[in-house]
Amino acid sequence: MIQLERVSLTRGSFSLREIDLTIKQGEHFFIIGPSGSGKTLLLETIAGIHPDAEGRILINGKDMENVPPEKRGLSLMYQDYSLFPHLTVAENITFGLKIQGIPQHEISRVIESLVFKFGLSTLLDRHPASLSGGEKQRVALARALATNPGILLLDEPFAAIDPVLKSQFIDELKMIREEKDLTILQVSHSREETYTLADRVAVLIGGKICQVGTCNEVFCHPVSINVAVFTGIENILDGLVISGKSGERILIAGNVRIGIPHNIPAGTHVVVCIRAADIIINPICDPENPEFFSNEGIIKGLREDEHGVSVSIDCGVMMTSWFSRREQKRYQLKIGQKVLLGFPFQAVQLIRKECGEDLSVFHSSLS
């Protein structure tokens, strides 16, 4: 288990600010955030590379103050793998073991096991400069595991490899974690990696933890505008809550009108966040369905990618929806077509505009 208590560190004009975080034993925990938010610096601080950090770092209940990196029972693997260019693959893998004074016969046993696991038998005498990205990744992971750490710190471990290898290594990392009961703390920019591997996620922005939770909590229910923007929510609009004729609550955002839970006070200024995939476009949307408050719009753009089609709709404000390729083929949406938009209650996330406070208290009527 890793516990961070008010951990702070300043480097130049940037600071990690009073980080409080608990990572459970055996958990695969992700730290996500924009470039320059301090993710790598936080990993290095946990690893003991920056001993001038303030606050407390506890690993398995033991305070790490004055404990050097090699005595912390963890391994750190960087995005660029940081292999020693003058050492062979075998020497890179065994470097940490030799530093720890492990006997040669034990080193040989570890090498044999890792060479088999990662398919490195033909690479042992080669130097890093002659290796492909995938080969370097395997060597770096073997080196990180050679000392049998209880905790693995991973800094963008899949960033430098192609999608096919990435999928393979994601599966391998799952198996390694289960085999060794590893606690893994991983930095990533990839939503796919996070959803596939993470038990929980922390969003780090500007050196501060903004939200911690499951993937669903973080990606679907952001507690601030910064988190909503970073996690890729496509539709973020200023809005005002008003009362309808029958007492219902309606959110007005530009020309868009969205039905929301009744217990939100009229006059509340909020930001509404809705993922593109959750916006329902006619002909799927049934305007008679009381779950939806329908809005008229005109399709202004269609953009295809390998997964589906993004649809830009002008409703007085621009909204983005998303269709799978199968849905697009079925409904044949076209630029210039008039449509109705529907917003399911559970898809609408509201954040107080004036202070960024989460409005999850108002979402009790959705469950």
Question: Can you give the pTM of this predicted structure?
Answer: 0.84
Strands (E) in the chain, as ranges, are 2-11, 14-23, 28-32, 54-59, 62-63, 74-77, 151-155, 183-188, 200-205, 208-213, 235-243, 249-253, 256-260, 269-274, 280-281, 295-304, 308-314, 318-324, 338-342, 349-352
Residue 4 · residue 46 · CB < 8 Å: yes
pLDDT at 213: 96
Angle at 32 between CA 31 and CA 36, to 5 degrees: 110
**Residue 130, pLDDT score:** 93
CA-to-CA dists, residue 243 to 89, 136, 258, 294, angstroms: 68, 61, 12, 17
Cβ neighbours, 10 Å, residue 218:
24
Q: What is d(CA 360, CA 258) in angstroms, rounded to the nearest whole number?
A: 17
CATH class of the structural domain 2-220: alpha beta
Domain edges within the chain: 2-220, 225-366
pLDDT at 292: 52
CA distance 21 to 251: 35
Please enumerate, as own/partner, the contacts of 60-64 that have beta carbons within 8 Å and a separation of 24 or more: 60/1, 60/25, 60/150, 61/1, 61/3
Q: What is the token pair recorded at 174?
A: 């799952």
Show contacts of 14-21: CB within 8 Å, 24+ apart.
14/38, 14/41, 14/207, 15/207, 16/41, 16/42, 16/45, 16/53, 16/207, 16/208, 17/206, 17/207, 17/208, 18/55, 18/208, 19/55, 19/208, 19/209, 20/209, 21/202, 21/209, 21/212
Q: What burial class does residue 355 get, using C-beta atoms within 10 Å of its C-beta: 0-12 exposed, 13-18 middle, 19+ buried?
A: exposed
Q: What is the pLDDT of residue 40?
A: 93
Burial class (CB in 10 A: 0-12, 13-18, 19+), 213: middle
Parts of the chain with a pLDDT under 50:
285, 287, 290-291, 354-367
- Domain 225-366 CATH (choose: 3.30.530.20, 2.40.50.100, 3.30.2010.10, 3.40.50.1980): 2.40.50.100
pLDDT digits (tens, 9 = 90+) for 6-58: 999 999 999 999 999 999 999 999 999 998 999 999 999 999 999 999 999 99
C-beta separation of 15 from 32 below 8 A: no
Helix (H, G, I), strand (E, B) or coil at 210: strand
Instruction: For residue 191, give the 3-state DSSP assignment.
Output: helix
Rounded to the nearest 10°, the torsion over CA 212, 218, 221, 225 is 80
When computed from its CA atoms, the radius of gyration of the chain, rounded to whole angstroms, is 25
| Model confidence pLDDT, tens digit, residues 202-250 | 999 999 999 999 999 999 889 899 999 999 999 998 888 888 777 778 8
